[in-house]
């Protein structure tokens, strides 16, 4: 039975501390906490558009408007749902609200956890933990890394700008030789910064993520051809077709999949399949969502390669609250997916209401 009712809570979260990247600094995040119901049971999940104009061009309000339009002719037949949604250009977050709800209801109906429903025997149940580190002084950054290492994090994505002090990054890597480090420029580098990128390449990082603006695949192509460090695309990837364009140009070695930005679970699985077929690395990236949003990332990471941990520590050090009833607790520095995925189906309304600005309710065609 497809889900019949959709409730979307537009929420606003205060970050524990300011989050700074090359695109600016933010103190709050706007997100959607969604509840899909088929009349028998309900599932809760998060779609986080962030609503940060300097980073994400799609506003939260625009996605609600698009969602309302999508539902006018939303098909009843499962086989037609994604075909219909894929006809809508961009608007990944609106698509994700419908697509994720559909998969969560179907997984529950099959009496399987979401991860096994998606990956079956190919599921990797235990996941190492990755975490992004915002811009800050060397002392602040080192203290964050020390704390996170103690909490089981094994991969660090350091936010950078063209003002990067390479010697400080090299020192940090030397201080934590057992950890995996990558850098993320959030599109802040230009062609004039080429020499700096060549110096960064010498650091033996796990990846250089999104050095250029999202449309500059020509520069990604040139950089991929001359670096030994894998070049990862993030903001450039908003749909399956973007991945195909990267492959066609040989414009990168790795894809950061943001499930909600690309439209939900269905296109995320399609991107994984394409990356496997063409030898591209990939991993699941976060967007400062709460631990409820991270729960979806955790399940999808069950189908990702083991050599590059996804963004999985939940709201650790980001928020002063939990949006799920069982906080993430690593086992031997890893998270076990099947320990948590039942949390999608608990009543989370009491946790969501204190942060809700507005509620939207929709009845789906049936």
pTM: 0.96
Q: What local confidence, expressed as pLDDT, does residue 239 receive?
A: 96
Q: How confident is the model at residue 11 (pLDDT cuts 50, 70, 90)?
A: very high
Contacts of 83 (CB under 8 A, 6+ apart): none
Q: What local confidence, expressed as pLDDT, does residue 316 receive?
A: 59
- Give the tens place of pLDDT for each residue, 97-117: 999 999 999 999 999 999 999
Q: What local confidence, expressed as pLDDT, does residue 312 receive?
A: 85
Going from N- to C-terminal start, the domains of the chain cover 5-113+346-363, 116-344
Could you name the CATH architecture of 5-113+346-363?
2-Layer Sandwich (3.30)
Measured in degrees and rounded to the nearest 5, phi and psi for residue 152 equal 95, 5
Intrachain domains 5-113+346-363 and 116-344 with the same fold? no
Q: How far is CA 181 from the centre of its chain?
A: 18
Quick one: tokens of 336? 């076990």
- Give the tens place of pLDDT for each residue, 164-222: 889 999 999 999 999 999 999 999 999 999 999 999 999 999 999 999 999 999 999 99
Q: How confident is the model at residue 317 (pLDDT cuts 50, 70, 90)?
A: low
Q: Which residue is listed with tokens 């420029």?
A: 185
Q: Would the pLDDT of 314 be above 60?
A: no
CATH homologous superfamily of 116-344 equals: Enolase-like C-terminal domain (3.20.20.120)
Q: What local confidence, expressed as pLDDT, does residue 182 receive?
A: 97
């Amino acid at each position: 039975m497809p889900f019949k009712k959709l409730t979307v809570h537009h929420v606003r979260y205060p970050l524990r501390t300011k989050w700074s990247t090359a695109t600016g600094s933010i103190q709050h995040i706007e997100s959607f906490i969604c509840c899909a119901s088929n009349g028998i049971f309900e599932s809760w999940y998060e779609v986080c558009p962030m609503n940060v104009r300097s980073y994400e061009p799609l506003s939260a309000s625009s996605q609600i408007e698009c969602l309302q339009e999508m539902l006018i002719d939303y098909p009843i037949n499962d086989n037609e749902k994604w075909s219909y949604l894929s006809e809508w250009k961009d608007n990944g977050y609106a698509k994700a609200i419908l697509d994720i709800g559909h998969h969560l209801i179907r997984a529950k109906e099959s009496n399987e956890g979401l991860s096994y429903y998606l990956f079956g025997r190919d599921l990797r149940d235990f996941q190492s933990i990755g975490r992004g580190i915002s811009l800050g002084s060397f002392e602040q950054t080192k203290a964050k890394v020390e704390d996170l290492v103690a909490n089981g994090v094994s991969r660090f994505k350091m936010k950078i700008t063209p003002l990067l002090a390479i010697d400080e990054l090299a020192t940090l890597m030397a201080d934590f030789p057992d950890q995996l480090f990558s850098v993320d420029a959030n599109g802040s580098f230009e062609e004039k910064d080429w020499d700096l990128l060549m110096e960064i390449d010498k650091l033996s990082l796990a990846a250089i993520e999104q050095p250029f603006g999202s449309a500059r695949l020509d520069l990604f192509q040139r950089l991929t051809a001359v670096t030994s460090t894998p070049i990862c695309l993030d903001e450039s990837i908003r749909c399956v077709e973007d991945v195909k364009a990267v492959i066609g140009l040989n414009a990168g070695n790795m894809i950061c999949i943001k499930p909600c930005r690309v439209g939900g679970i269905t296109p995320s699985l399609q991107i994984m399949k394409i990356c496997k077929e063409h030898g591209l690395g990939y991993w699941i990236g976060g967007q400062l969502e709460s631990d409820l949003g991270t729960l979806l990332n955790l399940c999808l990471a069950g189908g990702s390669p083991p050599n590059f941990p996804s963004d999985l520590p939940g709201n650790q050090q980001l928020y002063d609250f939990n949006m799920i009833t069982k906080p993430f607790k690593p086992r031997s520095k890893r998270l076990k997916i099947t320990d948590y995925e039942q949390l999608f189906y608990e009543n989370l309304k009491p946790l969501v209401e204190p942060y809700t600005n507005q509620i939207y309710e929709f009845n789906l065609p049936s």
